[in-house]
Amino acid sequence: MGHMIFGNLGALIFWGVLALLIYVAVRATINRDGADSKSNDPVDILRRRYARGEIDKEEFDRRMKDLS
């Protein structure tokens, strides 16, 4: 019976460590990709807003002209 308890505990530890490694890898990937897109450059911000559909083409063009 003691062997079965340690076997189950070992499996639980294995899956817990595996889940933790996957979580850390996903978070690192998200943070790395997100860091590049967090630029404070006004043109980059404007392009992201246009890409997300927050502003239309006319608004985008008008603001790009203002920034030039």
> For residue range 31-53, what is the model confidence (pLDDT) as tens digits?
665 555 567 889 999 999 999 99
Amino acid at 1: M
Q: Which of 44, 43, 68, 47 is nearest to 57 (CA)?
A: 47
Judge whether residue 1 has pLDDT over 90: no
Answer whether residue 28 is part of any domain: no
Answer whether residue 51 is part of any domain: yes
Taking CB atoms within 8 Å and a gap of at least 24, the contacts of 10-14 are none
Res. 24 pLDDT band, cuts 50 70 90: very high
Answer whether residue 21 is part of any domain: no
Q: Which of 15, 11, 17 is nearest to 3 (CA)?
A: 11
User: How many Å apart are CA 54 and CA 42, to the nearest integer?
Assistant: 15
- The top-scoring range by mean pLDDT among 4-18, 21-35, 45-59 is 45-59
- Domain count of the fold of the chain: 1
Answer whether residue 63 is part of any domain: yes
Residue range of the domain that includes 58: 40-67
Amino acid at 32: R
Answer whether residue 54 is part of any domain: yes
Is the pTM here over 0.75, yes or no? no
Answer whether residue 11 is part of any domain: no
> Which tokens is 16 given?
């817990």
- Tell me the percentage of the chain whose pLDDT exceeds 70: 78
Answer whether residue 13 is part of any domain: no
